[in-house]
Amino acid sequence: MLFMSNKGKNVAVVGAGLCGSLLALRLKQLGYKPVLFEKRPDMRSADISAGRSINLALSNRGLKALDLVGLSEKARTITLPMKGRLLHDREGNLRMSPYSGRPNDYINSISRGDLNSILYDAAEAEGIPIHFNMSCISSDPDSGELKFQDHSKNIQNFKADAVFGADGAGSVIRQAAMKKSSLLRFNFSQQYLTHGYKELSIPASENHDFRIASDALHIWPRKTFMMIGLPNLDKTFTITLFLPYTGEDGFDNIRTDADITRYFQKWFPDAMPHMPKLLEEYRTNPTSSLGTIRCYPWKTGAKTLLIGDAAHAIVPFYGQGMNCAFEDVVVLDKVMKNFEFGDWGNIFEAFQIIRKKDADAIADLALDNFIEMRDKVDDPVFAEKRKLEMKLENKYQDYYSKYSLVTFKEDLPYSAALKLGRAQDELLLQKIKEKGSADQIDELKILQELMDLRTKLEISI
């Protein structure tokens, strides 16, 4: 067994995904000695997919965290800006719905693997050891003892002053807490969606260009289900099909090549000609489930904290899971400033108290947004509301829509964004219903009402 010294300096980070790698980097910058353990091989040399979802939407909260470790500029070099949702109807008509009325607000498509590789390179450059092919199989949350199995099935033990469980939604570190759940009064819930997802693709065109517009997140909203597409640097698109498992238009009933062809011809006729590998990909690529995981406490013992998806996995419809996991590191960094070096017990306690409400808020917002993306984007009242929001954002620097509060106001906690955003939505929808259209609404009057709402809710931006 490798014993590390006992001054709070030696930290084990289990899971070198996006959150764990960023966290280790920050800890090193603060003077700790982090060690990363990752069950997968090194994605920079092994031919593996980085796991779930090939590309992700990176926005302000994630960029702020990357900035904290000095990597935001580097990350930006591998992003593609997406200015809005480009909506495809069944006839192939397109409508752009911008994310914001401010021209400089956009989200970024980024490859999960490339981003993780940037983090690995930076971690190694700082001298952080990354032990790949080391799967954590058990942990003692109080002593900091960890047991790993390497790729040859050898068992290796480690002991650290502090352990971070950054091992994602299926966290083994969290499972250890569940084993002593009555002692910890450990609450846990896992809520599956009725929908799953399958990844498909649109390749580059013959002249190596994008086949569809690259500056938007494409959505094919179909009320009870949808398909989305995010651009990649190699001019391809990663397409994600979100369908219910059951029912006529569910994964369970779209099985044969004839089913797939019929289904795509019916619902996504404009996308189909761009998807030459559709049948093969549909058959070969897995159908994966989606869900929300909530648990508490995240401090699962004297020496252990859950962080990122291990603490709070959410559905992907706000494009915030990674951004939120990165923001955990920003919040932790701030909390650590209030305590002595290595005072992990108090740091973990304070972190979970401050952060839990915001993780819950983004989990709720992400569930709301599924309905918005697949259904409401096509609703005329919703479209008028977005029109009004764009007008207000474009003209008045003080106003932020709910989407902008969550996505572009990185200093506003998610819980405040939820509270203000939902109240604003309610007010605007009510006005649109009363007046019939955005153009009939007195701009200054509604702006005043929106500002009054902010005062009433005691939220400053």
Ligand X SMILES: Cc1cc2nc3c(=O)[nH]c(=O)nc-3n(C[C@H](O)[C@H](O)[C@H](O)COP(=O)(O)OP(=O)(O)OC[C@H]3O[C@@H](n4cnc5c(N)ncnc54)[C@H](O)[C@@H]3O)c2cc1C
Task: List residues near ligand X by CB under 6 A.
Answer: 14-20, 37-40, 52-53, 56-57, 135-136, 166-168, 172, 197, 240, 308-309, 316, 319-323, 325
Whose Cβ is closer to ligand X: residue 292's or residue 415's?
292
Cα 411–Cα 292–Cα 60 angle in degrees, nearest 5: 25
Preceding peptide of 129 cis, ω within 30°: no
C-beta of 18 vs 332, nearer to ligand X: 18
CA 103 and chain centroid, separation: 23
Backbone φ, ψ for residue 181 (5° rounding): -65, -35
Rounded-to-integer distance, Cα 195 and Cα 224, Å = 9
| Residue 234 contacts residue 214 (beta carbons within 8 Å) | no
Smallest gap from residue 316 Cβ to ligand X (A): 3
| Sign, CA torsion 419/422/426/428 | positive
Residue 56 or 390: the one with the smaller Cβ distance to ligand X is: 56
The residue among 132 and 399 lying less far from ligand X, judged by its C-beta, is: 132
**For residue 394, is it left (φ>0), alpha (ψ between -120 and 50) or beta?**
alpha
What is each CA distance from 392 to 98, 397, 445, in whole angstroms? 13, 8, 11
DSSP code string of 296-354: E-SEEETTEEE-GGGTEE--GGGS-HHHHHHHHHHHHHHHHTTS-TT-HHHHHHHHHHH
List the strands of the sheet with 94-98, edge to edge.
Answer: 94-98, 84-88, 217-221, 226-231, 237-244, 187-202, 287-296, 312-313
Decide whether 30 or 48 has the Cβ nearer to ligand X.
48
Least distance CB 162 / ligand X (angstroms): 16
Q: Least CB distance from residue 147 to ligand X, whole Å?
A: 10
| 8 A C-beta contact, residue 282 and residue 260 | yes
Would you say 221 or 321 has its CB closer to ligand X? Answer: 321
Min separation Cβ 447 and ligand X, Å = 31
Contact 314, 292 (CB under 8 A): yes
Q: Which is nearer to ligand X, 16 or 392 (CB)?
A: 16
Shortest Å, Cβ 339 to ligand X: 23
Q: Could you tell me the smallest distance in angstroms from the CB atom of residue 436 to ligand X?
A: 35
Closest CB to ligand X: residue number:
17
Task: Report, in Å, the least distance between residue 362 CB and ligand X.
Answer: 10
Q: Which residues of 353-381 are buried (b: 16+ CB within 10 A; e: fewer)?
A: eebbebbbbbbbbbbbbbebbbbbbeeee
Are the beta carbons of 193 and 289 closer than 8 angstroms? yes
What does DSSP say about strands 10-14 and 94-98: parallel, antiparallel, or unpaired? unpaired
CB of 212 to ligand X, least distance (A): 18
CB of 275 to ligand X, least distance (A): 18
Contact residues for 385 (Cβ-Cβ < 8 A; gap 6+) = 425, 428, 429, 432, 438
CB of 114 to ligand X, least distance (A): 14
Q: Which is nearer to ligand X, 265 or 288 (CB)?
A: 288
Rounded to whole angstroms, the Cα distance separating 85 from 215 reads 9
8 A C-beta contact, residue 346 and residue 303:
no
Closest to ligand X by CB, 329 vs 459, is 329
- In the complex with ligand X, which residue's Cβ is closer, 368 or 443? 368
Could you tell me which residues come within 8 angstroms of residue 187 by beta carbon, excluding any fewer than 6 positions away? 294, 295, 296
Q: Give min distance, CB of 55 to ligand X, in A.
A: 7
Closest to ligand X by CB, 8 or 17: 17
Which residues are paired to 200 by β-bridges? 239
Length, in residues, of the chain: 461
The distance of closest approach from Cβ of residue 337 to ligand X in the complex, given in angstroms and rounded to an integer, is 23
Nearest to ligand X of 238, 450 (CB atom): 238
